[in-house]
Amino acid sequence: MTTWWQIILLSALAFWMIIDQLTVCWISNPLCIGMISGLIMGNLQTGLIVGATLQLMVLGVSTYGGASMPDFLTGAIIGTVYAVGANKGTQFAIGLAVPVGLLMVQLDVLARFTNTIFQKRIDRFITQNKPQAAGRNAYLGLFTWGISRGLPVFVLLIVGNRMIKNVLATVPTWLTNGLKVSGGILPVVGIAILLRYLPTKKYFSYLLIGFIAAAYLKLPMLGVALLGLALALLNYQRKQTQSQTSNSHNTEYENEAGEYEN
């Protein structure tokens, strides 16, 4: 059962996270949002699991050119709340977080459209040499962004307190199982998107070593990450040695050419 103070804190978190994403970028990633949501809900581990899984789904994805993308920050909040409150498991909660993130795309477009009103006012006040009025409208634009996230989260949490048990009781088993399966598959999609933008063919051997370490040797993620760091350092040192050797040969060749000319 989500208490009133948890609803207020989570709504405030949703209000601030989009402003943070547009400005200072301190906590604007699903992992941080899931962790903070888990702290508010009293279950840090679940928040980290939900946030980290959603983080994998957005690797290599960004709002290039001002395009809207699925808002998995909001999905991390809702997913963590449902994972802790509904006792349906993290995979089920992640399956619910995905449609929430997709729904927020429409509200993101609405927030952008609404902000054009303030942008036009800012332009007009600048031409009229009224910087204070232009500054006020800039802050009003931030308020619009915050409302586009804070209000939906507040409504979802208020409705969820009364209806979550009834809704989950009527959901068929095949649907909940499907959400759990999709929650396990979707992070792979994020990794696949990231691999498309990386020089995977050139460094395929390193990818294979990481896969063997995780799948067959059963190393934890920290161990795999340290192994990757060690391989990266070895590759860097090898290239540095090759570069120094090449420079040394070039210097010797230049010296020999100079002596020959003299």
Instruction: Give pLDDT tens digits for 174-197.
Output: 766 666 666 566 567 667 777 777
Q: What is the pLDDT of residue 15?
A: 94
35 — pLDDT class (breaks 50, 70, 90): very high
- Using CA atoms, how far apart are residues 225 and 221, in angstroms rounded to an integer? 6
| Model pLDDT for residues 57-66, shown as the tens digit of each residue | 777 666 655 5
Query: Which of 59-68, 129-138, 162-171, 174-183 ranks highest by mean pLDDT?
Result: 129-138
Q: State the pLDDT confidence band at 12, using cuts at 50, 70 and 90.
A: very high
Give the per-residue pLDDT at 182: 61
Q: Where are the alpha helices (DSSP H) in 171-220?
A: 173-197, 204-215
Question: Rounded mean pLDDT of 206-213?
Answer: 90
pLDDT at 168 over 60: no
pLDDT at 261: 56
Instruction: Look up tokens 């994020």; give the residue.
Output: 190
Give the H/E segment covering residue 169: helix 131-170
Check residue 201 and give its pLDDT: 85
DSSP3 helix / strand / coil % (the chain, rounded to 5): 85, 0, 15
Average pLDDT, integer, range 43-62? 82
pLDDT of residue 38: 92
Phi, psi at 256, each rounded to 5°: -65, -40
Whole-model pTM over 0.85: no
Mean pLDDT value across the chain: 80
